[in-house]
């Protein structure tokens, strides 16, 4: 069963000028996935997360989350999923210390006594909050409040977790520990994760699949490695080869290398050395085949550099005019 299965979801916000936040969004997400929801400011990411976590009812479409109906069982959805919103202060009581906040919420999530205490200690440690356990929420930094909000929502140990910009406001150490926590939740406990981020490198590192939204519509939804190939962006692989005589050099036929488009070559600074550039729309596939060709030809590889397509490139293309159909 798909954890999330929605079709044709639309949402607009009323106002003098009606804002269409989402239009015709379909999404099927299997258990154990980490979905990266990406897109420029105002694309509709937070709106979609609110709908999927039962906080907002869509205006059009239908579907289920964890088997519950999006339109009629939002209350059940809210109880069964965890959500960390960018306004991380929601749910933090300023009259309770950091630890007391978690102690207060534990029974709400069915955690009692020793089990609750251990879980709270573990989350405080994993999020680097041990030193602030007895501090008041007003006296900790914005990033520490974000960590507390994360700890609170992870107390629940739900099978589906929504993280809206979870590493926003965090320092380098905080970012590392939150990324590790997400990976562990997924790998060890099989938790399905939907996250948004504006850090493309983070999405590439964490997510098994990527959904790009722009102006409320889905532009792409593919496994992460496929999304990188999906635009057919061409990048160079540059090789320095020691050949006995540069003048005799015969470059590879690009048609024999998977993903290769064209080749260019010329003599290097050092006598007998050839600089070969292979332009590829799938550097991951081309590189090993190219190395095999080099070895087969009996050349010595003196250097190699690959420029790969990153999510940053895909994002730039899909967020710009080209991505809008």
Ligand X SMILES: Nc1ncnc2c1ncn2[C@@H]1O[C@H](COP(=O)(O)OP(=O)(O)OP(=O)(O)O)[C@@H](O)[C@H]1O
- Rounded (5°) CA angle 268-309-37: 165
Shortest distance in whole angstroms from residue 293 CB to ligand X: 44
Is residue 210 within 8 Å of residue 227, measured between CB atoms? yes
Spatial separation of the C-alpha atoms in residues 301 and 241, rounded to whole Å: 5
Residue 240 contacts which entry, Mg ion, ligand X, none (Cβ below 5-8 A, type-dependent): none
Among 46, 146, 283, 286, binds Mg ion (CB under 5 A): 46
Shortest distance in whole angstroms from residue 159 CB to Mg ion: 23
Q: Is 319 in the site for Mg ion (CB under 5 A)?
A: no
Give the sign of the dihedral formed by CA 85, CA 91, CA 94, CA 100: negative
Shortest distance in whole angstroms from residue 63 CB to ligand X: 18
Cβ-based nearer residue to ligand X, 40 or 272: 40
Q: Output b/e per residue, 82-111; b: 16+ Cβ within 10 A.
A: bbbbbebeeebeeeebbbbbbbebbeebeb
Binding site for ligand X (CB under 6 A): 13, 15, 19, 21, 39, 41-47
Spatial CB neighbours of 65, under 8 Å, sequence gap ≥ 6: 3, 4, 5, 6, 52, 53, 54, 77, 80, 81, 160
Cβ-based nearer residue to Mg ion, 73 or 215: 215
Residue 255 tokens read as 């048609």
Cβ-based nearer residue to Mg ion, 45 or 229: 45
Shortest distance in whole angstroms from residue 107 CB to ligand X: 32
Residue 21 contacts which entry, ligand X, Mg ion, none (Cβ below 5-8 A, type-dependent): ligand X
Residue 91 contacts which entry, ligand X, Mg ion, none (Cβ below 5-8 A, type-dependent): none
Is residue 257 within 8 Å of residue 220, measured between CB atoms? no
Cβ-based nearer residue to ligand X, 23 or 282: 23
Residue 224 tokens read as 């992460």
- Rounded (5°) CA angle 318-168-223: 40
Spatial separation of the C-alpha atoms in residues 217 and 174, rounded to whole Å: 32
Shortest distance in whole angstroms from residue 308 CB to ligand X: 26
Residue 85 contacts which entry, ligand X, Mg ion, none (Cβ below 5-8 A, type-dependent): none
Cβ-based nearer residue to ligand X, 47 or 146: 47
Spatial separation of the C-alpha atoms in residues 324 and 45, rounded to whole Å: 17
Residue 41 contacts which entry, Mg ion, ligand X, none (Cβ below 5-8 A, type-dependent): ligand X
Shortest distance in whole angstroms from residue 58 CB to Mg ion: 17
CA-based max dimension of the chain: 79
Shortest distance in whole angstroms from residue 34 CB to ligand X: 18
Residue 137 contacts which entry, Mg ion, ligand X, none (Cβ below 5-8 A, type-dependent): none
Residue 42 contacts which entry, Mg ion, ligand X, none (Cβ below 5-8 A, type-dependent): ligand X
Residues lying near Mg ion in the complex (CB under 5 A) are found at 45-46
């Amino acid at each position: 069963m798909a954890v999330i299965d929605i079709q044709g979801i639309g949402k607009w916000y009323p106002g003098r000028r009606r804002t269409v936040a989402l239009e015709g969004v379909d999404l099927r997400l299997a258990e154990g996935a980490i979905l990266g929801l990406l897109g420029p400011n105002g694309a509709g990411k937070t709106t979609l997360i609110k709908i999927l976590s039962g906080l907002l009812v869509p205006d059009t479409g239908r579907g289920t989350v964890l088997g519950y109906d999006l339109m009629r069982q939002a209350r059940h959805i809210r109880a069964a999923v965890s959500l960390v919103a960018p306004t991380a202060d929601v749910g933090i009581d300023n009259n309770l210390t950091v630890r007391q906040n978690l102690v207060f919420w534990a029974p709400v999530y069915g955690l009692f006594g020793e089990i609750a205490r251990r879980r709270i200690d573990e989350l405080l440690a994993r999020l680097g909050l041990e030193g602030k356990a007895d501090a008041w929420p007003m006296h900790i930094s914005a990033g520490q409040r974000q960590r507390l909000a994360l700890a609170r929502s992870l107390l629940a140990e739900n099978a589906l977790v929504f993280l809206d910009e979870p590493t926003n406001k965090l320092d380098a150490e905080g970012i590392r520990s939150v990324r590790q926590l997400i990976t562990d939740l997924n790998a060890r406990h099989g938790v399905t994760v939907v996250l948004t981020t504006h850090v493309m490198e983070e999405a590439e590192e964490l997510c098994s699949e990527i959904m790009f939204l722009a102006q409320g519509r889905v532009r792409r939804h593919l496994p992460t490695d496929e999304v990188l190939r999906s635009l057919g962006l061409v990048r160079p692989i540059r090789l320095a080869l020691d050949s006995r005589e540069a003048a005799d050099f015969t470059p590879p036929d690009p048609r024999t290398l998977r993903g290769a488009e064209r080749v260019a070559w010329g003599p290097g600074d050092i006598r007998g050395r050839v600089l070969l550039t292979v332009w590829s729309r799938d550097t991951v596939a081309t590189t090993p085949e190219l190395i095999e060709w080099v070895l087969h030809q009996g050349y010595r590889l003196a250097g190699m550099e690959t420029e790969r397509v990153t999510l940053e490139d895909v994002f730039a293309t899909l967020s710009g005019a080209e991505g809008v159909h």
